[in-house]
Amino acid sequence: MSEELLTKSKIADALGTNPMRVTRFVERNKINAVKKEGKRELYKLTQFNALKDELNAPESNKDKQSHGFSKDDYILTLKQQLKEQKQQYEQVIESKDETISSLKETIETSQQAYNDMKDQLAVKDSQITDLTKLTNNAQTLNLVDKDPKRIQAAHNDAETKPEQSSADEKADDSTKE
């Protein structure tokens, strides 16, 4: 079997190790393949006596144990990763809650500004109505000063409009006299 040509996987099986360790040994010791068949590199098992000795040394067994991971190690690692992910998730949730609170405050402020503007518009509409009444009264007074026929027309208009102001009534009284 020592003269037989083997792949790295077959050598690993023969030596009782994994193929990656054989690959590292080949790279570290710059061992060239005896033959290549396509992509497969073939080696003689005798080229790996040093690796065999390395594997049989008692120190390498300690190395195996210190570098190997047990199921418990994997479980502990996974638990730690889950804790970290949970913390990240909680931070994201907290950040989103803060954003939502900020947006709610912005909405409340905007709503208050909207209500203030509505109030201002109502005051403006009231002022426009008052100014319109005053303008009508001023025009009526202006007419009274100019033409008696217009006075009669204004008087008839004033009687038909219930919104006549006290100034209009005084103007009408003075024209009658």
The DSSP annotation for 87-115 comes to HHHHHHHHHHHHHHHHHHHHHHHHHHHHH
Strand partners, 41: 36
Strand partners, 40: 37
pLDDT of residue 170: 55
pLDDT of residue 120: 94
pLDDT tens, the chain, 177 aa long: 447 888 889 988 988 888 999 899 889 888 888 888 888 888 888 888 888 888 777 654 555 555 556 677 778 888 888 888 898 889 889 989 999 999 999 999 999 999 999 999 999 999 999 999 999 988 888 877 776 676 677 677 767 765 545 555 555 555 554
pLDDT of residue 140: 83
Indicate the pTM of the whole model: 0.35
CA distance 171 to 60: 121
Residue 57, CB-side half-sphere exposure with 13 Å CA sphere = 9
pLDDT of residue 169: 55
pLDDT of residue 60: 47
